[in-house]
Amino acid sequence: MVPDGAEAHDDRHVIVAALISYPQAILLGLLQGVSELFPISSLGHSVILPKLLGWDIHQNDKYFLTFLVATHLATAIVLFLFFRRDWMRIFKGLGRSLRDREISDDDPDARLGWLLVVGTIPAGILGLTLEHSLRKIFASPTSAAVFLMLNGLLLYGAELLRRRAPVTDVEDDARIARTVSWRGAFFVGATQAIALIPGFSRSGATMGGGLLVGLSHKDAARFAFLLATPIIGAAALLKLPELFGTTGDGVRGQALVAALCSAATAYLAVKFLMRYFETNTLTPFAIYCFTAGLACTAWFLVS
């Protein structure tokens, strides 16, 4: 005779496994890798897409949040590996500044490293204090669609208000270190908090913030990706134990598949965007977000 507790556990395992199928995991992983780095809100799309496709998956379900941890970690790893040479220089610069107890004016790697630290502080604090409450309040597909429209307006507004970037032949990281002030780094880092609301984009907010403090589109994208790496990675690592705990029962295999898919599209996305922003702007993404958000809002209201 099977104990009642074991039977309940088996039923739960079957139910959870059925909620995220492998085809769904593949699609969600592919989408995550693109939408996390493109300024179009990965969280917003993860709320909207299941509703559009009629999936019984909700953004605040514990198993789904645990499932997403793997895709976020995969994205952070890809970002780190893509910019690994930059990170090695940054780590060495931070080490020199700690050793010498100063940030030398002729050490842009050290300055960039501390700018990233300053930018990470507000995002980390706001994320820890507001993430749960904001996700809970704004987790509906309709609100995510509305905020996706607002994300489009935010991107377009950043283009209208941006400061003209200086044209120099200095290397990217050195140019970023010289252009961004300590206050500017704090501001750009704080803008990431808006991405806690489904529909607003982390990369879009930080790229927009970078434009407002005087970076070029390419430098703003580079700074945004460098700044996102420790935030996304740390948040994923903190929640990784949940994937191997009871909350991850029934979704570990799907999470692994989704993570591999997310890594593939994240690599293609960052490679594409670093080339794209050499000559292009945020405007096409602003148009997409506003149009898609408007269409989804109308659909959800009438359906």
Residues whose CB is less than 8 angstroms from the CB of residue 124 and which lie 6 or more positions away in sequence, other chains included: 231, 234
Over residues 132-146, the mean pLDDT reads 78
pLDDT band per the 50, 70, 90 thresholds, residue 9: very low
Per residue in 62-78, pLDDT (tens digit) is: 888 888 889 999 999 99
Global pTM value: 0.88
Q: Domain count of the chain?
A: 1
- Is the CB of residue 192 less than 8 Å from the CB of residue 123? yes
Could you tell me if residue 5 is inside a domain?
A: no
To the nearest whole percent, how much of the chain has pLDDT over 90?
65
Residue 8 lies in a domain: no
- Of the listed ranges 57-71, 74-88, 255-269, the least confidently predicted one is 57-71
Percent of the chain past pLDDT 70, that is, above it, reads 88
- The answer to the question of residue 143 being in a domain is yes
Give domain status of residue 293, yes or no. Answer: yes
pLDDT of residue 1: 44
Q: Is the pLDDT assigned to residue 111 strictly greater than 90? A: yes
Of 16 and 102, the structure prediction assigns the larger pLDDT to 102
Q: Rounded CA gap, 54 and 69, in Å?
A: 23
Supply the range of the domain harboring residue 276: 21-302
pLDDT band of 11, cuts 50, 70, 90: very low
172 within domain boundaries: yes
Overall average pLDDT of the 229-252 stretch: 86
Residue 14 is assigned to a structural domain of this protein: no
Residue, of 8 and 122, whose pLDDT is higher: 122
Is 1 inside a domain boundary?
Answer: no
Question: Does 9 reside within a domain?
Answer: no
**243: pLDDT confidence band, cut at 50, 70 and 90?**
confident
Residue 169 predicted with pLDDT over 70 = no
What integer best gives the mean pLDDT of the chain? 88
The whole-number average pLDDT for the span 253-275 is 96
Specify whether the CB–CB gap between 172 and 220 falls below 8 A. Answer: no
Name the pLDDT band for 171 (thresholds 50, 70, 90).
confident
What pLDDT is recorded for position 126? 79
Give DSSP secondary structure letters for 160-213: HHPPPPP---S-HHHHHHHH--HHHHHHHHHHGGGGGSTTS-HHHHHHHHHHHT
* Over residues 248-274, mean pLDDT: 94
Cβ burial, residue 4 (10 Å; 0-12/13-18/19+): exposed
5 — pLDDT class (breaks 50, 70, 90): very low
